[in-house]
Structure 1
Amino acid sequence: MFLKIFRLIVFSLIVIINGFIAWMALYLTVSMFNTNLASSTVEQYTFLGAVAITVLLIWFGFSRLGENYMRAKLGLKPPIPQYLERLQPLFAEVCQRAGKNPEDYDLFISPENIYNAYAVGKRTIVVCYPMLSLPDDELKAVLAHELAHIEYKDTRVLLAANLMNTLGNISFGVIIAITIFVGSFVSSIQVDDRAGGGVLWQVLGKLWLIMIVAFLKLIAWILYKILEISFLAVGRGEEYRCDEYACRLGYGIPLASFLYRVESMEAGRKKNLWDKIKIQKKGFAETLFATHPPIRKRIERIGRILENRKN
C-alpha cells in the first residue's frame, strides 16, 4: 500500500514538472510569434494550453487509444485463424473459471522470439510466438496469470508517465532552440550595448534559462526512474499475486510446470561456470530493475499455496 501511494506522489511530481516545462515552451513560442498580446495574457493562455495538453496526455495514457498505441508500438498482431482456434477455447475456459466474459478481452501475438506473455491496458493479453508450443494446461495457466494483471489494474499508469516525459523532452528541445537560435526571450533586457555588456548579458540570460530547464528536466528524469523502480518493486509483488490468482482457478500445477520449464531453459543457456555464478549472484542494480521475482521463489511459493489448499 505504501509503495502505491508513493508512486502516485512521484507520478504527480512528474506531471507537474513536465507540465511546467511544456508551459515555458508554449510561452516562449507564443511570445516569439505574437507581440500584440500583453505578457499576462500570454501567460494565462499558454498556462491553460499546457494544462489542456497534460490532461489530454494523461487521458490518452489511460484510454483505449493509448492501449491501441501500445499495441502498434509493440508490433502486436491478432492471431491468425489457426492460432486463434487453439487460443480461444483455452482462454474461454480460463474466463469461465474466473467468472469473466472472454469477449471483454483481446488476444494478440507478439513477434518476440521468447517464452513470455504479458498484459497491456484494460483488455489486451499478449502471447509471444514460442508460447504456442506449450501444452494446453501450461498455456491456460499463463493466460490465467495475465488475466489477473488486467483484473488487478497493474498495467496503466506507467504509459501515462512515459507520455509526460516525452512531452517534457520535446518542450525542452523547443526551449533550447528558441533561446539559442532566436533569443527573443531575453530581448527585453535593457543593457547599454555601448558599454559592451548587452551581448554578454543576453548570452548569460540564455544560458541561465537553459540551465534552469535542464535542472528541472533532470529532476523529472530522476523521478521517472524512481517511479519505474517503484513499479518494478510493486510489480514483483504483483507477480506473486497473479500466480496465486492462477492457483485459485486451478492452474497451480501447470503454472509451476511452465516456470520450471523456463528455469531449465535459462540454465541450459549458461555455457560455463562463470555464467552460472552470475545468474546466482545478481548485482544490486540488476535485482532492483528486475521485472519478475526469481523463478525458483515463484515455484516454491506456488508449492506452498497448493499445500495450504490441500490442508
Structure 2
Amino acid sequence: MMFGAAGLRSHIWNNNLKSMLLLAGFPVLLTLLGYAIALLVIAMTGEADYMTAKGQYGEASLGQSMMAAVYLLPEIAVFATIGAGIWFIIAWFGHQAMINLATGASPVTRKAEPRLYNLLENLCISRGMTVPKMAIIETAGLNAYASGLTESQYTVTVTRGLMQTLNDAELEGVLAHELSHIRNRDVRLLVISIIFVGIISFAAEIAFRGMLYGGMRGGGRRSGSRNGGALILIAFACIALAYVLAIAIRFTLSRQREYMADAGAVELTRNPDAMISALSKISGHSEIEKAPEEVREMFIENASTGFMGVFATHPPIEKRIEALVEYAGGRRPERMSSVPQV
C-alpha cells in the first residue's frame, strides 16, 4: 500500500495536534479582531484623549491611542474567550446543520436509499465501524464528503449525480474513501477548520464592510481623534492580518490527506481499479455551485486552485490516479467513456 501503518498513525497524531492548535488559536484571532475594534472606537470617539493640567482637553498621540487599545486587551481577551466558548458549543451541536445548509444536503434513511446504505454498511462491518448517517445533495455534480466531530455525529454525504453515474464498485470506493477520512481523523480537523477558523474570515469581512460603510456615512467628516486616520489604517491592517492568518491556517492542512484516503479506500475494498475509475468519472464533473469555498475543502474533489495552484486544497486527480497505479497496483482505464449528464 501507499503508506504503512506507522505513516497512518503519524498522520492521525498530526491531525489531532493540528485540531488542538486550531482550537487554541481561535481566541487569539478573536482577540486580534477585538484589538482592531478598540482602535476603531478610539479613532471615532477620541476615547484616548485626556484633560491637561490646565483643564484643557488634549488630544492623545498615536502611541498613546495605541497603548489605550492595548490596555483594553485583557478585557477584550475575556470577551473573546467567552465568545469562543459560546461558538464552540453552538458549532459542536449545530455544525452538521450548518454544513448541510451550506451544501443543500438532506439526511436520508435506509428505506429511502437502500443501495447506498447496504454498500456503506458492508464496509463498516468489515472494519468494525459504526455506520455513519447518510445525506444526499440533489445535484448533477459528482462529489462526496464526510463530516462530524464524534462517532455519533459522523455523516457521509454524496450527490445524486454521483449515485446515478457510478456503478456499485465505484460508489463503494468513494464511500470507502470517506470512511477513511473518518478513520484518519481528517473529518474532525476539517470541520474545526471550517467552523472555527472560517468564522474569523466571516467576521473580518463583516468588519471590512462595516469600516467602508462607516466611512461612507461619515461623508468625509473628521475623526473623533487627531490620529483617527492612522488608527483606522492600523485597525485595517490588524483585521487583514487576522483574515490572512485564518486563510493561511486552512491552507496549511496537508493535501496528503487525499492520498491517504485513496489508499484507505483501496485497503477497504481491495479494488484499486474501481477507485481509479470513480476518480476518472468525477474529474471535471465535481462542481457544486452553491457550496461555499470553505466547505469544498471537505469534498472528494475540489477543482478550485486559486492563484497558480498555490491555494489548491486537493492534489490533481491525475496525480492521485498515478499514485494508485504505482503504489496500489491499479490499472489505468484505456479509454473512459464520457460521463452521462444527469
Q: What is the TM-score when the length of structure 2 is the normalising length?
A: 0.63
Aligned CA distance change for structure 1 residues 176 and 208 (closer, same or farther; 3 Å): farther
% same residue: 21
Q: Which residue of 2 aligns with 1:167?
A: 203
Q: Which residue of 1 aligns with 2:136?
A: 109
The alignment status of 1:151 with 2:183, answered yes or no, reads: yes
Residue 76 of structure 1 deviates from its aligned partner by 0.8
Alignment length, in residue pairs? 264
Aligned CA distance change for structure 1 residues 136 and 211 (closer, same or farther; 3 Å): same
What is the aligned counterpart of 2:99 among 70, 74, 85?
70
Residue 118 of structure 1 deviates from its aligned partner by 1.2
Helix, strand or coil: the match of 1:67?
helix
Aligned CA distance change for structure 1 residues 66 and 252 (closer, same or farther; 3 Å): same
Q: Which residue of 1 aligns with 2:55?
A: none
Q: Which residue of 1 aligns with 2:316?
A: 294
Task: Give per-residue Cα distances to partners, 1:214-253, cap 9 Å, x unaligned.
Answer: 010111122123223222xx1x211100011111112422
Aligned partners of 2:243, 2:179: CA distance in 1, in Å? 31
The alignment status of 1:227 with 2:249, answered yes or no, reads: yes
Alignment of 1:133-282 (within 5 A): 133=164, 134-154=166-186, 155-159=190-194, 160-170=196-206, 202=224, 204-231=226-253, 234=254, 236-249=255-268, 250-263=270-283
Helix, strand or coil: the match of 1:91?
helix
Q: Which residue of 1 aligns with 2:30?
A: 18
Q: Which residue of 1 aligns with 2:86?
A: 56
Aligned partners of 1:252, 1:124: CA distance in 2, in Å? 24
Aligned partners of 2:102, 2:136: CA distance in 1, in Å? 13
253-262 vs 238-247, which moves further: 253-262
Aligned partners of 1:221, 1:11: CA distance in 2, in Å? 16
Aligned CA distance change for structure 1 residues 48 and 290 (closer, same or farther; 3 Å): closer
Q: Which residue of 2 aligns with 1:278?
A: none
Aligned partners of 2:115, 2:217: CA distance in 1, in Å? 59
Aligned CA distance change for structure 1 residues 139 and 287 (closer, same or farther; 3 Å): same
What is the aligned counterpart of 1:118 among 124, 145, 152?
145
Consecutive unaligned residues of structure 1, counting only runs of 5 or more, are 33-38, 183-198, 267-281
Aligned partners of 1:76, 1:118: CA distance in 2, in Å? 11
Residue 149 of structure 1 deviates from its aligned partner by 1.3
Aligned partners of 1:256, 1:201: CA distance in 2, in Å? 61
> In 1, are the aligned partners of 2:263 and 2:328 still within 8 Å (CA)?
no
Task: Give per-residue Cα distances to partners, 1:156-190, cap 9 Å, x unaligned.
Answer: 222210112323444566677789979xxxxxxxx
- Determine which structure has the larger helix proportion and give its number: 1
Residue 210 of structure 1 deviates from its aligned partner by 1.7
164-173 vs 91-100, which moves further: 164-173
> In 1, are the aligned partners of 2:27 and 2:80 still within 8 Å (CA)?
no
Aligned partners of 1:252, 1:140: CA distance in 2, in Å? 11
Aligned CA distance change for structure 1 residues 77 and 210 (closer, same or farther; 3 Å): same
The alignment status of 1:129 with 2:160, answered yes or no, reads: yes
> In 1, are the aligned partners of 2:22 and 2:197 still within 8 Å (CA)?
no
Aligned CA distance change for structure 1 residues 172 and 146 (closer, same or farther; 3 Å): same
Consecutive unaligned residues of structure 2, counting only runs of 5 or more, are 1-9, 46-67, 287-303, 331-342
Residue 99 of structure 1 deviates from its aligned partner by 1.7
Q: Which amino acid aligns with 1:115?
A: L
Aligned partners of 2:82, 2:305: CA distance in 1, in Å? 43
Q: What is the TM-score when the length of structure 1 is the normalising length?
A: 0.69
> In 2, are the aligned partners of 1:91 and 1:140 still within 8 Å (CA)?
yes
Aligned partners of 1:295, 1:224: CA distance in 2, in Å? 26
Aligned CA distance change for structure 1 residues 169 and 54 (closer, same or farther; 3 Å): farther
Aligned partners of 1:42, 1:140: CA distance in 2, in Å? 55
> In 1, are the aligned partners of 2:145 and 2:156 still within 8 Å (CA)?
yes
> In 2, are the aligned partners of 1:247 and 1:306 still within 8 Å (CA)?
yes
Quote the RMSD (CA, aligned, Å): 4.0
